Structure 1
């Protein structure tokens, strides 16, 4: 767990210009108006041992919670944001990126509007797809959550 490194990346992405085109971002993705940064990623858990996967999800949830504590000091305490309802909405309405993609990968997120940056920040554990790796994600976007 390297909370200081994760916070430094989030701070950097709060002010980095968004790209004009979709493309990679140091293990994540970026596009017009958003960054999805992979803070941590499992290796070999996609479709693998369920017990190891559950332990990794638990570890990443602890890291997410540690990030929450530090970011809540800056931007205030927030309730967990239920991404399952966003996922259900994608079936009947157009949900913009990065929110549609995040809702397909994670169940809940910690969410803030970062004062003075014009950006929204979400931190989530992406573990919904059992055939994929487990990831701790930070999403930064100028698009307000749906």
Structure 2
């Protein structure tokens, strides 16, 4: 009987110890997702629309990404900063940027070069870049 009790205690302890890494893995899986959702010509400018989601447990108070815009032939057109502002935890946001002098039809690729700013109380220093997920619903490729 004593052996059965010891086995039961050992199984319970092993199960509770096993739960620790699973929780840590969940926290490590948290990341920001940026989707290039639409590009639209507005006069002599291109309006670029993003759907962005902060998958972390804490709010990001300011997220600014450096982006490189490439033309359809692969040449760098310009470097720019996209200020996505505040990103509440686990809530999607749409942000639009009008890029003057850019024809949407000439935009071939968009490279997220890194985070210029990523701040927030309780936000890890690499919250905006670690495991950054990028995708596009347009013909413009998004890289990072």
| Length-normalised TM-score, structure 1 | 0.25
| Length-normalised TM-score, structure 2 | 0.26
Structure number with bigger Rg: 2
- Bigger fraction of residues in strand: 2
- Bigger fraction of residues in helix: 1
